[in-house]
Each structure stands twice: as C-alpha cells, then as structure tokens.
Amino acid sequence: MDRATVERVARAAHIKLTEDELRRYSDDLNDILTYFELLDEAPECDASGVNPVEVADVLRDDEPHMDIDPDLLLRDMDTYERYIRGPRLS
C-alpha cells in the first residue's frame, strides 16, 4: 500500500493524517496486508452468506408507531428551531 493509496483511503474515511501518522499507518498496513496474502491461497467455496447463520425473510408489518419521544432524542443535540445543526454544505 503506497503513500498515495493511504492518502486516498484516509480521504475516503474522512480522517486527516499528520506526516508522522501517514508514515506509521503505511508501515502497519503494509505489514498487515502482507499477512493477508494468506487469503489468496485460501480454498474457494461455493457457499456464501452475509451472516454466519442464515438470516432470512425477517420482515415487519407496515404499521406506524413511535416508541420513544423524539424530544428525548433531541435533548442533547445541537438544535435550532427543532432543526439539527450541522456544518456548512459548500
């Protein structure tokens, strides 16, 4: 994993890295990815699945209801006239 790739990954992940961190993480990730090369030789498998046990067809009925008072959810949020405040868009 070269420096440019680490920078690209960090940008995608929204993490700013100092020069020192960039060097350190590049080294660590290279070690780790070298170890991960083991995966290339792992046997193939026709089975697949998102979960380790099959989770299938769990659905909810289309019935509206609210269990938690939204005011309770908003109590610790930075709000303005019930809008939740966030950073500038552009």
Partner 1 sequence: MKIGLEIHVQLPTRSKMFCSCPTTDAPAPNTHVCPTCLGMPGSRPVLNRKVLEYGIMLAKMLGCKVADVTWFSRKTYFYPDMSKSVQITQYDNPIGEGGVYYLGKKPIRITRIHVEEDPGKTKRVGDLSSLIDYNRSGIPLAEIVTEPDLSTPAEAREFLGQLIEDIRHVIDLPGDGERSIRCDCNISVGKERCEVKNVTGLKNVERALTFEVVRQTKILKAGGKIDRETRRFDEERGVTISVRKKEFEADYGYIDEPDLGIYHIKEMADSIKIKESPQKMAARISAEYGIDQKMAKQLVSASVGLAETFEAVAKESGVQNAVKWVAGPVSAGWKAMEARGGTPDEAVGIIRRFAAGEITDTECAMEIRCAMTGESAEAAAGASQDLERIVSEYLDQNPEIVSDYAKNEKAANKAIGFVMRNSGGKHSSAEVVEAVKRLIESRMRSHGVR
Partner 2 sequence: MTMRDVLSGLKETNARYSMFHSMTDDVDPGDAKFLFSAKDNLTSKDMETCAGSKILIGYRPAFDAAAISKMRDAGGKLIGKCNMDEFGFGTFSYNSGLEIPRNPYDLERACGGSSGGSACAAAVFEGHVSLGVSTGGSICCPASFCGVYGIAPTYGRVSRYGLIDYGNSLDKIGIISADAGDLRRYIRVIAGKDPRDPTSCVQPELRDEGRKMRSVAVPKEGIEGLSKEVEAAFKESLESLKGMGLDVEYVEMPSLKYAMPAYYVLATSEASTNLARYVGMRYGQQEGDHSLKFDDYFSSFRSEYFGDEAKRRILLGTYTRMAGFRDRYYAKALKVRQVVIRDYKRVLADHDAVLAPTMPFTAPRFDDISKMSALDSYKADYLTVPANIAGTPHMSAPCGYDSNGMPIGMQFVADHWNEEVLFDIAERWQRSFEARRPEVKA
Site for partner 2 in 7-46 (CB under 8 A): 9-10, 12-17, 21, 25, 28-29, 31-33, 35-36, 38-40, 42-45
Site for partner 1 in 16-75 (CB under 8 A): 49-51, 54-68, 70, 73-74
Q: Judged by CB under 8 A, which of 2, 19, 60, 62 binds partner 2?
A: 60
Listed residue (20, 16, 32, 23) closest to 2, CA to CA: 23
Listed residue (36, 19, 26) closest to 1, CA to CA: 26
The Cβ-side half-sphere exposure at 14, using a 13 Å CA radius, reads 0
Give helix 19-36 / helix 3-12 axis angle, nearest 10°: 100
Cα-Cα-Cα-Cα dihedral sign, residues 70, 74, 79, 84: negative
Judged by beta carbon, residue 45 or residue 89, the one nearer partner 1 is 89
Q: Judged by CB under 8 A, which of 4, 42, 45, 89 binds partner 1?
A: 89
Cα-trace Rg, the chain: 23
- Residues near partner 2 (CB under 8 A): 1, 5-6, 9-10, 12-17, 21, 25, 28-29, 31-33, 35-36, 38-40, 42-45, 47-56, 58, 60, 68-69, 72-73, 75-78, 84-90
